[in-house]
Chain A
Amino acid sequence: MSRRGVGLGAFTNRTQTSQSYATHGANLRSTHTASLQTQLSVFQSLLHTFALEHSSTIKSDPTFRAEFARMCNTIGVDPLAASNIKGKNGRRGLGEGGSFWTQILGGDMNDFYFEVATRVVDLCRETRSENGGLIGVEECRKRVGKGKAIGSGLEVSDDDILRAVRSLEPLGSGFSIVNVGSKQYIRSVPKELNTDQATVLEAIQVLGFVSVSMLRLNLKWEKARAQTVIDDLLADGLVWVDAQGPEKEYWSPQNLLDDSG
């Protein structure tokens, strides 16, 4: 092999060599894929066993559920991915479609997120005239967790709320998650906050309330700019005004929700 062939025969030789290299490569690749596939299916079945084994914990413990969901996400399994297509039909069993939750835990888990989503939608609708369609995920969780009727409390985490809101997206519901400062909110009105508005809301989070002169002092804004932003927030129902002090103060209705009702 090392000696270079002479004459036309060398060409045939070379073709043969490269062909055998290619075959070998293909072999290697397929073995590799096969072994990866085995690994993946082993892992999936382990995950399956794990989920079954701990299904009651997953259902009852919000922290555990969130960790489990994060693990699924890491390996590229979106637990809710198929839930909007198949719905409850997934009860039939493994591999027949339905979401991952449904496949491994039965319909209960789907129903659980469906229930959470329903409550979130109810709460958003109910409080829209109070808060202009912006509600803190944390406040939402507290209220949803409580439930209205006796014994209807649900153990939910912030993660469950976010998951439920995201599961609404394919419905074109106009529900979205908005970050303001360090807090997450559910926006149930399809209207975006501009940067100035978000800044003011963040300031209210920190200070409790704001006034035009506070905004001018802290953000170095012109009076007109501060006034415009506040007027916009008022018009959208996102802040309430208190006119009984020396200067008008603007408050966020978020803290109205905490543990009332």
Chain B
Amino acid sequence: MTLPFPFPREHNWPPFFTPQPNTTTRQDQLRKWSDLIQSWCRHHRQYRLSLIEAVESPLFFNATLRKRLDIREARAVVDWMTKSEEEGGGGRRAEWIPDAGGGLSSGVMGSAQGQGPRAVAWIWWKRPEEWADLLVEWVEGTGQRGSVLTVYELIQGEGTASQEFHGMDTDVMLRSLNVLVKRGKAQIFGGEGQEGVKFF
């Protein structure tokens, strides 16, 4: 099922891994890294990126060239991605997860045990608002307006198997649903882990 990720040409080009001193060139480089990280995560259906793990992965380490994006540089790239375009950034395509734990478990650990701040980030190859739009489209397309669904159904149910949000990270799903709540298009109820949602 997982085809090898098609790396772009620049990933096989040594200078891509060194921060460029020229500002214009640097912007171009950051944009290329941002695109690459997003398509990498999308390819692997990955919603959060742990930098410590990523610097050892083929994403940030090209074993053939023996060039790598070190953790400081990776952090600079993600920092750029978190900023809006008006701030000269990459259009909020990432967001640091404060005090994220060491592993993928959602248990909250202190930063001493975990990876500290700016260690794990959401990578928004689709932003929560964009996911929300997709959800609405699906709900309306399948005539389920007014019905009640569990969040588990939305993510794992057979009904959504063909949708891009199938198998999605629960936190991202809740973020996206909350966008709809704010828009007055959905209501979330039930306790943690048992959430249900009603679409209007």
A contact set with B: CB distance below 8 Å:
128-130, 132, 209, 234-237, 240-245, 249-251, 255-256, 258-260
Contact = CB atoms under 8 A, between A and B. Distances in A.
A129 B28 contact: yes
Interface of B: 8-10, 13-18, 20-22, 24-25, 27-29, 67-68
Contact of B18 (A130, A242, A260): A242
B14 A244 contact: yes
Contacts of B18: 240-244
Nearest to A240: B15
Contacts of B8: 260
Contact of A130 (B14, B25, B67): B25
Given A129-B27, A255-B13, A244 B67 contact: yes
Q: Which of B9, B20, B24, B25 has the most CB of A within 10 A?
A: B25
A244 B27 CA distance: 20
A256 B29 CA distance: 12
Given A129-B28, A242-B17, A256 B9 contact: yes
B21 A241 contact: yes
A251 B13 contact: yes
Contacts of A250: 15
11 contacts: A130-B25, A132-B24, A132-B25, A234-B21, A241-B21, A243-B18, A244-B67, A244-B68, A250-B15, A260-B8, A260-B10
A249 B14 contact: yes
Contact of A242 (B10, B21, B28, B67): B67
Nearest to A208: B14
Contacts of A256: 9-10, 13
B24 A237 contact: yes
B15 A251 contact: yes
B146 to A, nearest CB: 40
A251 B14 contact: yes
Contact of A240 (B9, B20, B27, B67): B20
A242 B27 CA distance: 16
Point out which of A132, A236, A237 has the most chain B C-beta atoms below 10 A from its C-beta: A237
Contacts of B25: 129-130, 132, 237, 240
Contacts of B16: 240
B22 A235 contact: yes
A235 B21 CA distance: 8
A251 to B, nearest CB: 5
A132 B20 CA distance: 13
Given A242-B17, A244-B17, A251-B14, A234 B9 contact: no
A128 B28 CA distance: 9
A257 to B, nearest CB: 8
